Structure 1
Amino acid sequence: MGFLLLMASAVPLRADPINAEDFLPFDAAQARLGELLFHDKILSGNRNISCATCHHPKHGSTDGLSLGIGEGGVGLGPERTPGTSETAVKKRIPRNAPALWNLGHRDVRVLFHDGRVQATDYEDWEFDTPAREYLPKGLNSILAAQALFPMTSDAEMAGQPGENEISGAVRPLVHEAWPIIAKRVRSIPEYGALFVAAFEQVNAPEDVTIVEIANALAAFIGTAFQSYDSPYDAWLRDGAPLPPAAEAGRVLFFGRANCVSCHNGPLFSDQDFHAAGLPQFGPGRTRAHDLQPRDTGRMNKTDLLEDAYRFRTPSLRNVALTAPYGHNGAYPTLRTMIRHMADAQAMRAAWRPEMAALPAVPWLDEYDFVLADDRLELARQDARIDVPVVPLSEAEIDALEAFLHALTGARAQTRPPGVPGRVPSGLPVD
């Protein structure tokens, strides 16, 4: 390893630390209220799915699936099924459920895999979102802005047009559904009292708007999923030695493997967008008038060809808890994801559909992999890959994997946020 140490000496061999003061200040009473809302299916159109269904503490704040089974499904995590008859799912969620760790950190400025919610420098437009000028004022963070949109997605929480009053209001403009959701929540007496107690500006239940709901959700997520007590943090702060394999991986990560070029800063993410050429499958997050089930990533937001197939760099903190990996969960293990990032084209050529964690949905299965044999589409994706090839030995892959495990927080692994025994709506809790 002496050669690797020499090569790495020219670059920083550490990331910035995280401390409690690096997080946005959230109100504790609002966070307790947000925990109930996070687990309450009252926020969904058909009252059958909650935020926690796809971001469950049991699964490291994700759902353990490549592409989730959203509104209409039954069960939790890898055991979730697509439902039956008229209430069954109409399509898979097009992207992997992102983890929630450290989203309350002050450095977070873009959310969603394509960054369609992002902080701005505009005086009168704090967040750029799909709601544009209709985004309500008073949101306490970018995390609150992001929390608004799963509630208005037909496949995630809203349901199909005509199934309920929320899904009907989403079209043509998503903001028209938010007052309906707020009325649902504040009409439950227990919630009304909790909002009055938690928010200074709420004097009566009828004052509750979608802003208070989103701010409460953000307060919960931004506090409950803080994590900065990993072995790496102990090394960074106190000089506590890492296990030898993880130490070798650290040197590689910040050195010859150059993972740090994208996974940098306290969150191990540059919060920028890169084209890693992952295998495409599922319904895709298609652009208007595109008949192909593809996902062009950042280009969906910017309309710039240069952004085609680029996706946000994920944080690597607690990454060992959040399999499968990639914007669509293409790889089941850290090891296979490391291999892909070292040689994207070779790994994509070797990728097989059975590597994806996709619950069987007989009426959708035939469409899941239609792009796999599309020669022209594969060539377009190959042309956009901007992650360089880095030859790695098996021992080096072992070392990098060990280092990534050293980014797992102690409390995240042993005491994740719990699940309330009940919620004020009386609906079942996942």
Structure 2
Amino acid sequence: MKKLILAFLAVLFAMLVLVLWFGNVKPPAADALLASPHATQLHGGDALLPLPPVPALPEEKVALGKRLFFDQRLSHDNSLACAGCHDLARGGSDRLPAAIGIAGARGSVNTPTVFNAALNFVQFWDGRASTLEEQAAGPVHNPLEMASSWAEVIPKLKLDSDYRRAFQQLYPEGMSGQSIVDAIATYERTLLTPNSPFDRFLRGEKSALSPRELDGYRHFLEYGCASCHQGVLIGGNMYQRFGVMGDYFRDRPVARLIPADLGRFNVTGREEDRHVFKVPSLRNVAVTAPYFHDGSADTLEKAVVIMGRYQLGRELSEIDVQAIVAFLRTLTGEWEGQRLQ
């Protein structure tokens, strides 16, 4: 009996040592801020990775897609192009709480940036499109955006001899809804914004982040922001409920719910998907205000406070908020050799 008691006590002691040991181990990401030249590995999640280089795609398709991206004839009244809401001079978005379509029609959600969208695991806030091609077709047919159809768009574009020639050369079927969105998506796959300060840091340039930015990065990791904002996009690779630790929709100034607030529920009809959205990428977040699907946060500071409160269950101090914001500003990349503004 005495031996059994001693053995039992030894097991308890070993368990206590393990609990104390693991309880005092910091998250690997926090300990490895400067350790890896290519990635910061997250505990139990995907690594934070630098953006890949712009892919080498057929130049003719890219050029055709670019022209279509800026062509207002894709809309019913010839007044709105893809670039009207995805303004490349405004971080690839429109910097409005909700998109404005033809004839001043107001959309129901904030416009996500088109920059780096090719790396999202799904498209749209509710994930209803699985590819860039599906996404490109959506606004054309949305009555609150371009309010058109391929039956209306294609005859207009066929009046353009350059378009007819390009589609005949590049696509066996010529001009069609499928070939139009393929060209647009090909162009959008080139809209990557590499070489942010954070990318340079991940590649081993330790001086790319200032002490304050590095402090913000530590907070970002240790508070758990990176549990959802991870991967090459620092987001964009999972769904999450908006309001994990509190009822955001009850507390926001505009309490009335609209269908867009239901998020993924509108796609699946499953109760567990109510208020679930695609986690947005934080790439270029400093130049794509306002924030969230409802555009309710007009500054990055407000967005960080709300995320701390409703996703992490924390009331962040002003010092920590400013440090995290300083880090988030290091995620702004370059387009055509210039840092986004």
**Is the TM-score greater than 0.5?**
yes
| Secondary structure, counterpart of 2:335 in structure 1 | helix
The counterpart of 2:144, out of the listed 136, 151, 155, is 155
Q: Distance in 2 between matches of 1:178 and 1:196?
A: 17
Residue 311 of structure 2 is aligned to residue 407 of structure 1: no
What corresponds to 2:319 in structure 1? 395
What corresponds to 1:313 in structure 2? 279
1:283 to partner: Cα distance: 9.4
The counterpart of 1:17, out of the listed 50, 69, 91, is 50
1:263 to partner: Cα distance: 0.2
* AA of the residue aligned to 1:229: N
TM-score when normalising by structure 1: 0.64
CA deviations on 1:179-209 (whole Å, 9 max, x unpaired) are 4322321232121122234x1525xxxx311
- 8 Å CA contact 2:195, 2:334 repeated in 1: yes
1:62 to partner: Cα distance: 0.7
What corresponds to 1:35 in structure 2? 66
CA deviations on 1:246-305 (whole Å, 9 max, x unpaired) are 1001111111x110010011111132232232537599763xxxxxxx621110011011
- 8 Å CA contact 1:179, 1:209 repeated in 2: no
- 8 Å CA contact 1:64, 1:323 repeated in 2: yes
What corresponds to 2:164 in structure 1? 192
* AA of the residue aligned to 2:160: I
TM-score when normalising by structure 2: 0.80
| Aligned 1:266-277 pairs, distance under 5 A | 266-269=232-235, 270-276=237-243, 277=248
* AA of the residue aligned to 2:52: N
| Secondary structure, counterpart of 1:397 in structure 2 | helix
| Aligned 1:209-220 pairs, distance under 5 A | 209-220=176-187
| Aligned 1:129-278 pairs, distance under 5 A | 142-158=131-147, 166=148, 177-197=149-169, 199-201=170-172, 207-223=174-190, 225-241=191-207, 242-255=209-222, 257-269=223-235, 270-276=237-243, 277=248
Q: Distance in 1 between matches of 2:156 and 2:319?
A: 56
Write 1 or 2 for the structure with the bigger share of helix: 2
1:415 to partner: Cα distance: 6.0
1:101 to partner: Cα distance: 1.7
| Secondary structure, counterpart of 2:116 in structure 1 | coil
- 8 Å CA contact 2:97, 2:109 repeated in 1: yes
| Secondary structure, counterpart of 2:304 in structure 1 | helix
Q: Distance in 1 between matches of 2:211 and 2:98?
A: 35
1:104 to partner: Cα distance: 2.3
The counterpart of 1:55, out of the listed 73, 81, 86, is 86
The counterpart of 1:297, out of the listed 263, 285, 293, is 263
* AA of the residue aligned to 1:208: M
In structure 2, the gaps of 5 or more residues are 1-23, 34-39, 41-47
Give 1 or 2 for the bigger CA radius of gyration. 2
1:39 to partner: Cα distance: 1.1
Distance of aligned partners of 1:182 and 1:284 in 2 relative to their CA distance in 1, 3 Å threshold: farther
Distance of aligned partners of 1:400 and 1:413 in 2 relative to their CA distance in 1, 3 Å threshold: farther
Could you tell which deviates more after superposition, 145-154 or 276-285? 276-285
- 8 Å CA contact 1:94, 1:284 repeated in 2: no
Distance of aligned partners of 1:231 and 1:111 in 2 relative to their CA distance in 1, 3 Å threshold: same
Distance of aligned partners of 1:229 and 1:10 in 2 relative to their CA distance in 1, 3 Å threshold: closer
Residue 111 of structure 2 is aligned to residue 97 of structure 1: yes
1:399 to partner: Cα distance: 0.8
The sequence identity of aligned pairs, in percent, is 31
Q: Distance in 1 between matches of 2:72 and 2:141?
A: 14
- 8 Å CA contact 1:318, 1:412 repeated in 2: no
CA RMSD of aligned residues (A): 2.5
Q: Distance in 1 between matches of 2:276 and 2:62?
A: 34
- 8 Å CA contact 1:102, 1:226 repeated in 2: yes
Residue 123 of structure 2 is aligned to residue 111 of structure 1: yes
* AA of the residue aligned to 1:144: E
Distance of aligned partners of 1:39 and 1:305 in 2 relative to their CA distance in 1, 3 Å threshold: same
In structure 1, the gaps of 5 or more residues are 74-88, 119-141, 159-165, 167-176, 287-293, 345-386, 418-430
Aligned residues: 296
